[in-house]
Amino acid sequence: MDPSSPRSFRNMLSPARRRPLLLPALFALAVLTLCPGGTPRAMAEGGQAAEISLGHLIAMKGNGFSGSTACAECHRINGGGMPSVGIPRIAGQTATYIYREIRGVQKGTRFSPFMARVVRNFSKSDIRAVALYYSTVRTPKLHDPSEFDPSLRSLGRRIARRGLWDRNIPACILCHGEDGRGIPPNFPYIAGQSKTYLMQQIKSFAVVDRKDDPEGLMRGIASKLKNREIKAVAQYFASLTPPDYGTISPKNSPDRLRLIPEKKEANSP
């Protein structure tokens, strides 16, 4: 097995291999706590760096199990996605959101047959690592080859910023933030996503293929939108520039990822 593979990396950290090193590790921990560099914050940052490194390996090579394709084959090395075929950009999305969506694919609440095959062998620690990695990478907005209809510009802006309250359709920015920049950590940015991807997801919510939205909110909204309105609002957000959040915020820490509510599952990864 390739010693640089994610699977080998995890094996190095397995309980069986850690056990003989327990006492030396405890001694080292005691020393670190007495040294300036051994603060809890410094140690936490070191742990986060290791998780991000593992996430990078999985993103580039898969997690070492059969059928696990590298994330970068579709989402690209820096998470820019593939606008021409509706694969989303995930660069700079919050780790909390990425983690939740991968888990949703595994559980079937987010409809994505191809991705379901890729992530079926991902453990929760694999997912946390990948989520942290892609939350740190940045990439410019990629060219979207979709056709844009100028006659729909004002309609898309109206739905995004004001909604269609006569039909109980709220403004998109109430959840996705001003100019679609997201409301971290739970509501993703949609500014700069491709028109194809945004249309796919709205329609997926409308026909209940995707059902990971809180309280069915997106399903209720999407089912009320007409095809012309879906196209209009998708191209509006696709025309915007995605945000750049900088470094990982405390809201995006690995500890916070453990707080995501999930039903306990038998034999869960």
The tens place of each residue's pLDDT in the chain, 269 residues long, gives 565 666 665 555 444 444 444 444 444 444 344 444 455 445 456 788 999 999 999 999 998 887 778 999 999 989 999 999 999 999 999 999 999 999 999 999 999 999 999 999 999 999 999 999 999 999 999 999 999 999 999 999 999 999 999 999 999 999 999 999 999 888 999 999 999 999 999 999 999 899 999 889 999 999 999 999 999 999 999 999 998 765 566 655 556 665 555 555 545 44
Kindly calculate the radius of gyration of the chain based on its CA atoms and give it in whole angstroms.
21
Cα torsion 17, 19, 21, 23 to 10°: value is 180
Answer whether 0.75 is exceeded by the pTM: yes
The residues, any chain, with a CB within 8 Å of residue 135's CB and separated by 6 or more, are 92, 93, 94, 95, 98, 248, 252
- Contact criterion met (CB below 8 Å) for 70 and 133: no
Q: Do the Cβ atoms of 141 and 240 come closer than 8 Å?
A: no
Domain with CATH 1.10.760.10 in the chain: 6-138+247-257, 150-238
Options 1.10.530.10, 1.10.760.10, 3.40.50.410, 3.40.1350.10; which CATH number does 150-238 get?
A: 1.10.760.10
**Residue 14 main-chain phi, psi, to 5 deg:** -70, 155
Tell whether domain 6-138+247-257 is in CATH 3.40.1440.60. no
Which residues are CB-contacts of 176 (< 8 A; sequence separation ≥ 6)?
A: 182, 183, 187, 188, 189, 190
